[in-house]
Structure 1
Amino acid sequence: MRESWPAFKSILLQVHSIAGLVLALLLALIALTGAIMSFEDEVVDHLDAGIMQVAPRPAPALMPDELVARLKAAHGVGKVSAVMLSSDPSAAVRVRFGRDEQGGRPASLYVDPYDARVLGSPRGEAFFTTVRRLHRWLLIPGDAKGWGRQITGVAALGLIVMLVSGLVLRWPRRAGSVKMWLKPNLSLSGRGLHRSLHAVIGTWVLPIYLAMTLTGLWYSFDWYKDGVVWLLSRPQGPAAKMMPANPPRAAGRPEPAQPIGFDQAWTTFQREEGGRFARALLTLPASPGTVIRIRSWGKDMTLEATRDEFRIDAVTGQLASAERYSDKTFGEKVIAAIYDIHRGAILGWPGKLAFMIAAALMPLFAVTGILLYLSRRELRRPAQPPLGRLVPGE
Structure 2
Amino acid sequence: MRLRGHTIKAVLLQVHSIAGLVLALLLALIALTGAIMSFEDEIVDHLNADIMRVIPREMPPLTPDDLIARLKAAQDVGKVSAVTLSSDPAAAVHVRFARDEHGGRPASLYVDPYDARVLGLPRGEAFFATVRRLHRWLLIPGDARGWGRPITGTVALGLVVMLISGLVLRWPRRAGSVKTWLKPNLGLSGRGLHRSLHAVIGTWVLPVYLAMTLTGLWFSFEWYKDGLIWLLSRPQVAAAKMPPKMPPKPSRGADRSEPAQPIGFDRAWTTFQREEGDRFSRALLTLPAGPGTVIRIRSWGKDRTLEATRDEFRIDAAAGQLVSAERYDDKRFGEKIIAAIYDIHRGAILGWPGKLVFMIAAVLMPLFSVTGILLYLSRRKLRRPAQRPLGRLVPGE
Q: Report TM bin, short chain.
A: over 0.9
* Partner of residue 228, structure 1: 228
SS in 2 for 1:4: helix
Structure 2 Cα separation of the partners of residues 292 and 314 of structure 1: 6
Matched, 1:170 2:173: no
Aligned 8 A contact 1:245 1:291 in 2 = no
* Partner of residue 377, structure 2: 374
Aligned 8 A contact 1:305 1:336 in 2 = yes
Matched ranges for 1:309-324 at <5 A: 309-324=312-327
SS in 2 for 1:282: strand
SS in 2 for 1:62: coil
Matched, 1:303 2:306: yes
User: Could you say what the CA RMSD is over the residues aligned between the two structures, in angstroms?
Assistant: 2.1
Counterpart residue identity of residue 203, structure 1: T
Pick from 331, 353, 358 the counterpart of residue 356 of structure 2.
353
* Partner of residue 17, structure 1: 17
* Partner of residue 45, structure 2: 45
Structure 1 Cα separation of the partners of residues 269 and 394 of structure 2: 93
* Partner of residue 335, structure 2: 332
Aligned residues: 389
SS in 1 for 2:235: coil
* Partner of residue 183, structure 1: 183
Runs of 5+ in structure 2 lacking a partner? Answer: 249-255
Structure 2 Cα separation of the partners of residues 392 and 218 of structure 1: 68
* Partner of residue 260, structure 1: 263
* Partner of residue 253, structure 2: none
* Partner of residue 383, structure 1: 386
* Partner of residue 106, structure 1: 106
SS in 1 for 2:379: helix
Displacement of 1:102 after TM fit? Answer: 1.3
Structure 1 Cα separation of the partners of residues 245 and 57 of structure 2: 37
Matched, 1:124 2:121: no
SS in 2 for 1:305: coil
SS in 1 for 2:2: coil
1:113-145 deviation line (CA, Å, top 9, x unaligned): 000000001100000000000000000111001
Aligned 8 A contact 1:241 1:323 in 2 = no
Aligned 8 A contact 1:247 1:320 in 2 = no
Displacement of 1:7 after TM fit? Answer: 1.1
1:13-38 deviation line (CA, Å, top 9, x unaligned): 00000000000000000000000000
Please give the TM-score of this superposition, normalised by the length of structure 2.
Answer: 0.94
Structure 2 Cα separation of the partners of residues 339 and 239 of structure 1: 21
Structure 2 Cα separation of the partners of residues 247 and 7 of structure 1: 60
Counterpart residue identity of residue 3, structure 1: L
Counterpart residue identity of residue 88, structure 1: D
Query: 1:78/1:40 Cα in 2 relative to 1: closer, same or farther (>3 Å)?
Result: same
SS in 2 for 1:3: helix
Displacement of 1:200 after TM fit? Answer: 0.2
* Partner of residue 269, structure 1: 272
Counterpart residue identity of residue 148, structure 2: G
Counterpart residue identity of residue 166, structure 1: G
Query: 1:386/1:3 Cα in 2 relative to 1: closer, same or farther (>3 Å)?
Result: closer
Counterpart residue identity of residue 216, structure 2: G
Q: Percent identity?
A: 82
* Partner of residue 54, structure 1: 54
* Partner of residue 291, structure 2: 288
Matched, 1:197 2:197: yes
Structure 2 Cα separation of the partners of residues 264 and 167 of structure 1: 56
Please give the TM-score of this superposition, normalised by the length of structure 1.
Answer: 0.95
Displacement of 1:8 after TM fit? Answer: 1.1
SS in 2 for 1:167: helix
Query: 1:293/1:43 Cα in 2 relative to 1: closer, same or farther (>3 Å)?
Result: same
Structure 2 Cα separation of the partners of residues 13 and 181 of structure 1: 19
1:234-277 deviation line (CA, Å, top 9, x unaligned): 122223565847799xxxxx998431110000000000000000
Structure 1 Cα separation of the partners of residues 103 and 236 of structure 2: 38
Structure 1 Cα separation of the partners of residues 175 and 387 of structure 2: 40
1:331-386 deviation line (CA, Å, top 9, x unaligned): 00000000000000000000000000000000000000000000000000011259
Structure 2 Cα separation of the partners of residues 284 and 246 of structure 1: 15
Structure 2 Cα separation of the partners of residues 289 and 231 of structure 1: 30
Counterpart residue identity of residue 379, structure 2: R
SS in 2 for 1:230: helix
Aligned 8 A contact 1:30 1:134 in 2 = yes
Displacement of 1:391 after TM fit? Answer: 7.2
Runs of 5+ in structure 1 lacking a partner? Answer: 249-253
* Partner of residue 36, structure 1: 36
Displacement of 1:103 after TM fit? Answer: 1.0
Structure 1 Cα separation of the partners of residues 388 and 52 of structure 2: 74
SS in 1 for 2:96: strand
Structure 1 Cα separation of the partners of residues 236 and 222 of structure 2: 20
